[in-house]
Amino acid sequence: MDLKIHLRALEKSDLTWLYLIENDQSLWKYSNTILPYSFDLLKDYIKNSRRDIFDVKQLRMVISLEDKKGVGLVDLFDFRPEHKRAGIGVIVDKEFHNKGIAKKALQLLEIWAKEKLQLHQLYTYIAEENLKSINLFKSLGYIEIGLKNDWNFYEGKYNNEYTFQKILNE
């Protein structure tokens, strides 16, 4: 199945869907979240999501199908224009896993980040046990540059985290 996707800004109509994603406790270990998000907080977040990335140092876009339905999110975070780098992350709704959506979305975000922000590099942090994400980022040319031992504590134990990096201008 070849799904056509595009990236778009968050919209008011995404509120309920965003609420479900942000409050999915199974994902909190990967985002270092420890408290649930309220509708009001997320409504304000959507309202303020149009703020300039140069001001807030982050950007979240919705991975959207042709019918405008959101199926995931891509993020740029820790944007450092003076160093021409940013962190990158992706999440796709479970029902849309294994369809190539995350890979296509990351490719679109990479092109956008290179052309619009003139970024030289992107990096990501991935839990050692998150093999799907590790394989995804490796398939896009990200290279493992480090392992942080006992970095995050969840599920009653310390867990390792990899850092991957991609130079965009090669």
Q: Which amino acid is at 117?
A: L
Q: What does the pLDDT read at residue 170?
A: 67
Percent of the residues in the chain that have a pLDDT greater than 90, as a whole number: 79
| pLDDT of the residue at 30 | 86
Total number of domains constituting the chain:
1
pTM assigned to the model: 0.92
Q: In CATH, what number is assigned to the domain containing residue 162?
A: 3.40.630.30
β-pair type (5-8, 157-167)? unpaired
Q: Which domain holds residue 55?
A: 5-167
